[in-house]
Amino acid sequence: MTTSGSDTARLTAELLALAGIDLDAGPDLRFEGPDVVLPSSYRVTEAAAALVGAVAVAIARLATVRSSTGSDGPPAAVTVDRIEACAAFQSERHFRLAEPPKLWDELSGHYETNDGHVQFHTNFAHHRLAMLAAIGCGDTANRAEVAAVVAERGRFEVEQAVSEGGGVAAALRTADEWAQHPHAAHVAGRAPLAVTALEGGSTAHQVRLESPPPSADRPLEGVRVLDLTRVIAGPVCARTLAAYGADVLRIGAAALPVVDALLPDTTLGKRFAHCDITTAEGRRTMLTLAADADVVVSGFRPGALAARGLDTDDLLGANPNLVVARLSAFGADGPWGGRRGFDSITQTATGVVATETAAFEADRPRPLPCQLLDHGSGYLLALGVAAALMGRHRRGGAHTVDVSLLTTRNWVASLGPADPRAGRPLSNADVAPYQHHRASPFGPLRHLRQPGLIDGIPARWDHGPSRPGADPAQW
């Protein structure tokens, strides 16, 4: 095994070790491009490149294990372009349609309080209505009216009221303030990725995946992925698996809201079906799909699927050789266990936004230059899935993969500070070499390709994005 870009390669090796994969066994790994791409006081470029590299290495190793020879020998090389990796971590900003999508609701964002700032996330209508009710505004209140109410109250008071009322809010904390929070202590020391092999299962389930073996440019050919996610982090995981050849079926429901503006980017290479799991028929359909799947990726809040009779044990009852990948915002236990959250909310609550704001001497709250916690968590999930599939192929049995936005944040913070004066925002010209054009149900689409080359071959999606409910709920 040889590497270039020693610091990023070392970080990649550490990520792979979390998944039980030894980089020293190969393949060769090379990083190209400038050491710093995006400006930040955090090591954003290194984190993005290492995560892309770790996933590509894991996929390459899995393909070799699945090959007809059964050899564990590595492929020739994995190459990661740092500019492409950083662009991919901004993918929702770089796709183009005839009409630009609106990514944020009018009421989302930061507001001044009488002692700092608070942030609301209102892209889902029910979160918007819950926030307005919690702060005492009417359903039709505009941003100015919300700002006037919030300005008279304290940031922690508003955070608590909105969160308890079913909305999504975060007080803007400094890193030191977050360090004093009980939940920060609860999750301290937790790894950003946990892959767990469970007892039971058998290798018999692998027959379908062993014949025929995957092709060189479709290393996950034959792998079926049930995608129960929304927004960015979970969809990025399943989209990544689709780019390497997995058959991904995303499941939603007519009553389950989505961020429409993200779909042209996050559903690339996927089919999209509706299945109402609030009904007995819908639950039976879901268990039938899980029985014939290899992977389930869930972005539901901890406990939400269990309330519908579809928790991990139920899924494994239908398929004892399943890989269940679970994503949460703040984890499943502890003072904030199961709490609603998104990338931007996690950044605000845990001191990331305050750190960036201070580093750039900004006059308003400044987040990271990309949704690093979302994309990073998506890549960590994909890394864990690849490792779990490798373990299942060799030994059989089920696996769980666990990632949270918070532990991803903690991992990024652990990398140490960066010089905010280095790097610059990516321009249209910077990302153009990595964009593809295709027709789509949303109109002519220009989107980024999947970053990371295996043996010089770029990953690709077999088809464009899908609209909700456009496909049948079947394999």
Residue 457, token pair as written in the block: 């071959």
The active-site residue out of 7, 374, 402, 471 is 374
Angle at 274 (CA atoms; ends 270, 275), nearest 5 degrees:
125
Distance CA 336, CA 338 (A): 6
C-alpha distances in Å from residue 214, one per residue of 41, 52, 192, 222, 315? 42, 21, 30, 7, 26
Distance CA 149, CA 371 (A): 29
Query: Which residue pairs, CB below 8 angstroms and at least 24 apart, start in 114-118?
Result: 114/151, 114/152, 114/153, 114/154, 115/154, 115/155, 116/155, 116/171, 116/172, 117/155, 117/171, 117/172, 117/348, 117/365, 118/150, 118/155, 118/158, 118/159, 118/169, 118/170, 118/171, 118/172
Whether cis (ω within 30° of 0) applies to the bond prior to 369 is no
Number of residues that this document lists for the chain: 475
Query: Strand pairing of 323-328 and 247-252?
Result: unpaired
The sheet with strand 457-458 has its strands ordered as 28-32, 77-81, 453-454, 457-458
CA terminus-to-terminus distance, the chain: 39
Q: Is there a catalytic annotation at residue 311?
A: no
Distance CA 268, CA 258 (A): 15
Residue with structure tokens 């469970």?
198
Q: Are 83 and 33 in contact (CB under 8 A)?
A: yes
Non-local (6+) Cβ contacts of 31 within 8 A are 3, 4, 5, 8, 9, 49, 53, 79, 80, 82
Q: Are 282 and 273 in contact (CB under 8 A)?
A: no
> What's the one-letter identity of residue 420?
P
Residue 400's nearest CA partner among 284, 316, 335, 282 is: 316
Task: State the catalytic residues.
Answer: 374
